[in-house]
Structure 1
Amino acid sequence: MPVLSKPIPPLYTVYILRSTVQHASLYIGSTPNPPRRLKQHNGEAKGGAARTSRRTLRPWEMVGLVSGFPGMVAALKFEWALNNPHVSLHIPTASRITISTQRKRNGQPKRPPRSVKSIISNVHLLLRVPSFARWPLKLHFFAPEVHRTWTGYCDTASEPLRKTIPVYTDFAPIQSAADESMSTEAPSPPSPYGIHALSLDYAPMKNYVEKTQSLYSFEREGACVICSETLAHGEGLYATCSNALCEGTGHISCWSRHLLGSNPGEDIIPISGCCPQCGGEVIWGDMMQEMSLRLRGQKEIDKLLKKPRKRKAPTTPASP
């Protein structure tokens, strides 16, 4: 059966689930759709894991997640390593934080009990190991106390996290009973927050995609912004600057060499750097996602750029 090439997904995450009834009960999973997955864990939709099906632990909440995985397989690798940091080969033995002291009946190391602090410390560790250190990952926290655990661990960690990993917080809004009683207006629908504010589609890339569609459709690639060689239309892998007013385009290999050269010591996968044409910052992961969408996701592009239909004005009946 042939392998179907797909674009880098708009969102794929590894999440931390916590019981609102017993905070010590935790679960780690992966999904491209956190709101839908949370409904499954809480029994509001079909699916979900057997370990989260106990009514005495429901409802569950997502207190944090890692996003930016280039696909399901990548997320599953990170999920497994985070679930099994005591045996994962992604973590060098000398660097392990979680150590197994017991054995299962089959002789394999038994997973030690975990806590929010142990999970957070292993997230920090996995973001530093060679297997994941250069991926375009992002951290999100949706519970203040979990974020405090993260910042506290960062202050004491033996090694710092690289600065190019963004950390976002989006907590539930706090509204006192006094504020509610003083309001005389009808309550407006609450703004989405937490996992419900995450974009599940390519909408944040719309302007970027519109720009590149115009550039490549009309064969306006021009010359490579790094090596100055003319870019023959349809005869190579090209990437374009993600900054709004810049159409700087170049060979993938040239972009890679340029971005690695602007960050001494980085010699595997680029992370970020400056565009040689506009001087603005470019993120390698963003450019790769746009390129994969352009080359493999025509259906997704058509859906993203589809113009909404104009509603017909109601016709007035003719007078007799």
Structure 2
Amino acid sequence: MAIQSKPIPALYTVYILRSTVRHASLYIGSTPNPPRRLSQHNGEAKGGAARTSKGNLRPWEMVGLVSGFPSMVAALKFEWALTNPHLSLHIPSSSRLTVTTGRTKRGRPRRPTKTLVSIVSNIHLLLRVPSFSRWPLKLHFFAPEVYEAWKKWCSTASEPLRESLVVVTDFGKIGAKRSKKTAPIPVPEDDNGEGVEDSTAEQAEPWGIHALPLDYEPIKDYVVKSQNVFEFEQEGNCVICRDEILSGQGLHAVCTNEGCEGVGHLSCWSRHFLPASDLDGDGTILPIHGHCPKCKGGVQWSDMMKELTLRVRGQKDIEKLLKTKRKRAAKAKAAAKSS
């Protein structure tokens, strides 16, 4: 059976799940859609994991996750390594932070009990090992105490993480009761303490996992720009080697910066970026970031590759994205006319 190539996914994550009833109960999983997956774990939709189906531990909450995986398989590899840090071959034996204690009835090494400290410490370790250290991963924390545990571990870890690693926090409204999808909206009260309707109350913005982009919407303008460049054969010369770019021949990438239509051979972009991506002389061939020779703006290799794979392998995804844009534009135009 032939393997079907797919574009880099809009979102794929490895998440940390915690019971709101018993904080010591933790679970690690992976998903392209955290809100939907959380609903499954809480029994609100079909498909939850057996280990999270105990009613006395529900509801569960996602307190942190890692995003930016280049494929589902990549996320599954990271998930397995984080779930089995005592066995994973991605971690050298001399670097293990978690060791097995005893064996199961089948003779396999028993999986150690997960704790918050063990999870954040092993995330830190996995982000440093060669298998994952140069991936375009991003850390998200949705609970203050989990983020504090992360910071505490980082301050004592034997080795630092790369400076370009992005860490995002989103705690909603701290100290207030939070709904599933949004931070709370204060309810006005009358003189008797009864709630009253308030037409001026604004809908709160989604927070946490509900604010994550689940589709390619964040790079929509970039996709449109690239589509125009290649559809109208406006590639010109490579911004790095200056040779003419032959339309439809080879892989070409476009600068990610707004207003810049600099196009280059994929191999040229790679060679141009490697010196600027803290190469340690270890033979690494995967860039992380660099600057466009045309506009001088900073460019993330992962953003460029997401658009390239979408253009080459995801025509249906592009059609869906542009169709959504046209629908929204038509609605906005109709609204403007009616007003």
| TM-score of Structure 1 vs Structure 2, range by shorter chain | over 0.9
Note if 1:260 corresponds to 2:274. yes
Whole-angstrom distance in 1 between the partners of 2:259 and 2:143: 37
Q: Distance in 1 between matches of 2:62 and 2:288?
A: 28
Question: Aligned partners of 2:26, 2:37: CA distance in 1, in Å?
Answer: 15
Report how many residues are paired: 312
Which of 214, 219, 243 aligns to 1:200? It is 214
Instruction: Map 1:129-168 onto structure 2 (within 5 A).
Output: 129-168=129-168
Segment of structure 1 superposing worse, 241-250 or 21-30: 241-250
The answer to whether residue 250 in structure 2 is matched with residue 233 in structure 1 is no
Match of 1:58? Answer: 58
SS of alignment partner, residue 139 of structure 2: strand
1:150-189 equivalence runs, <5 A: 150-174=150-174, 180=187, 185-186=198-199, 187-189=201-203
**Fraction of identical pairs, as percent:** 63
Once the two structures are superposed, residues 98-146 of structure 1 have per-residue CA deviations (whole angstroms, 9 ceiling, x without a partner) of: 0113122232221111111110000000011000111110000000110
Q: Which runs of 4+ in 1 moved over 6 A?
A: none
- Mean alpha-carbon deviation: is it higher for 40-49 or for 101-110? 101-110
Residue-by-residue CA offset, 1:242-284 (whole Å, 9 max, x unaligned): 0112111111111111111223426221000111111111111
Distance (whole Å) between structure 1 residues aligned to residue 227 and residue 114 of structure 2: 48
Partner SS for 2:101: coil
Quote the offset at 1:172 in angstroms.
Answer: 2.1
209, 218, 225: which one aligns with 1:211: 225
Q: 1:163: Cα distance to partner? A: 1.1
SS in structure 2 at match of 1:27: strand
Q: RMSD of the TM alignment (CA)?
A: 1.8
1: CA distance between counterparts of 2:112 and 2:320?
46
User: What is the DSSP-based 3-state SS (H/G/I as helix, E as strand, rest coil) of the residue aligned with 1:231?
Assistant: coil
- What is the TM-score normalised by the length of structure 2? 0.88
Q: Where does residue 299 of structure 1 map in the other structure? A: 316
Which letter maps to 2:288?
Answer: I
Q: Which amino acid aligns with 1:265?
A: D
Amino acid aligned to 1:21? V
Query: SS where residue 271 of structure 2 aligns?
Result: helix
1:308 is paired with a residue whose SS is helix
Partner Cα distance (1:255, 1:64) in 2: 33
Superposed counterparts of 1:7-156, under 5 Å: 7-156=7-156
Match of 1:272 in 2: 289
What one-letter code is carried by the residue in structure 2 that aligns with 1:248?
G
Q: 2:233 corresponds to which letter in structure 1? A: E
SS at match of 2:103: coil
Q: 2:18 is paired with a residue of what secondary structure?
A: strand
Distance across 2 between alignment mates of 1:268 and 1:153: 30
Letter in 1 for 2:143: A
TM-score, length of structure 1 as denominator length: 0.93
Deviation at 1:232, TM superposition (A): 0.2
Q: Using the alignment, how far apart are the partners of 2:113 and 2:310 within structure 1?
A: 41
The separation in 1 between residues aligned to 2:169 and 2:36, in whole angstroms, is: 20
SS of match in other structure, 2:327: coil
Task: Decide which moves more: 262-271 or 188-197.
Answer: 262-271
Partners of 2:60 and 2:2 in 1: how far apart?
39
Letter paired with 1:235: Q
Deviations 1:32-87 (A, max 9, x none): 00000000000000011000000000000000000001111110000000000001
State the alpha-carbon separation in 2 of the partners of residues 86 and 16 from structure 1: 18
Residue 108 of structure 2 aligns with an amino acid whose one-letter code is Q
Higher alpha-carbon deviation: 261-270 or 192-201: 261-270
Distance of 1:124 and 1:261 partners within structure 2: 25
Q: Using the alignment, how far apart are the partners of 1:294 and 1:51 within structure 2?
A: 39
| Partner residue of 2:265 out of 228, 251, 261 | 251
Listed as ranges, the gaps of 5+ residues in structure 1 are 314-320
Q: Measure the CA separation in 1 of the matches of 2:174 and 2:269.
A: 45
Match of 1:318 in 2: none
Distance 2:279 2:93 in 1: 28
Cα distance in 2 for residues equivalent to 1:213 and 1:207: 10
CA distance in 1, matches of 2:102, 2:297: 52
Q: What is the DSSP-based 3-state SS (H/G/I as helix, E as strand, rest coil) of the residue aligned with 2:253?
A: strand
SS in 1 for 2:240: coil
